[in-house]
Amino acid sequence: MKILVTGGAGFIGSHLCDLLLAKGHEVLCVDNLATGNKKNIVHIENDNFSFIRHNVTKPLYLEEKIDWIFHLASPASPIDYLELPIPTLKVGALGTHNMLGLAKEKNARFLLASTSEVYGDPLVNPQSEEYWGNVNPIGPRGVYDEAKRFAEAITMAYHRYHGVETRIVRIFNTYGPRMRLNDGRVVPNFIGQALNGEDLTVYGDGSQTRSFCYVSDEIEGIYRLMMSDYSDPMNIGNPEEHTVLEFAHFILKLTGKSSKIIFRELPEDDPKQRRPDITKARKILNWEPKVSLEEGIRNTIRYFEGVLDTQM
The residues that are catalytic are 144
Count Cα atoms within 13 angstroms, Cβ side, for 245.
9
User: CA 191, CA 251: separation in Å to the nearest integer?
Assistant: 7
Within 8 A by CB and 6+ apart from 132, the residues are none
- Tell me if the bond preceding 126 is cis, omega within 30° of 0: yes
A 10 A CB-CB count for 297 gives 24
**Separation of alpha carbons 17 and 111, rounded Å:** 14
CB contact at 8 A, 101 and 164: no
